[in-house]
Amino acid sequence: MLIYKVLRAAEWAALQAAGRTDGAPVDVADGYVHFSTAEQLATTLARHFAGENDLALLACEAEALAPDLRWEPSRGGALFPHLYRDLRLSDVLWHRPIPLGPQGHEPGELA
C-alpha cells in the first residue's frame, strides 16, 4: 500500500541533499514523520497546506517502512501512518510536484 508525504520545496531539497530528514517542523515537534493515505491526502492538503505553492508529493510503500511505521488515531479517530524514524531518500518510490489550482491542490493520480 502506498502512503504519501507532503513536503515544501525547501524540505524536499534538504531531503535530496542529505539523503534523510526528520521531516517538517510539525514532524520534529511530534517526534514522528506524518504520512497520509490516498483517502486522507486531500484533507491533509486543505488543512495543513492551503494556498501553499511549491509542494512535493512523495510516495512510499507502507510495508517497506515496517516495523517503524505505526497506524495511530488522529483526525476524527481515523488511523494515520506515522514513521518513527527518519525518512530516507531511499524510502521514496516516486515524487512529483503538487499543483495549486483554482480549487486548491491537485495531487493527480496516486498510482
| Domains in the chain: ranges and CATH | 2-105 (3.20.170.20)
Please check the confidence at residue 81 and state whether its pLDDT lies above 70.
Answer: yes
- Measured CA to CA, the distance from residue 111 to residue 101 in angstroms comes to 21
Q: 91 falls in which pLDDT band (50, 70, 90)?
A: very high
Sorted by sequence, the CB contacts under 8 Å of residue 48 that are 6+ apart come out as 6, 26
Evaluate if residue 6 carries a pLDDT over 80: yes
pLDDT higher than 90, residue 62: yes
Q: Check: pTM over 0.85? Answer yes or no.
A: yes
* pLDDT band at 108; cut points 50, 70, 90: low
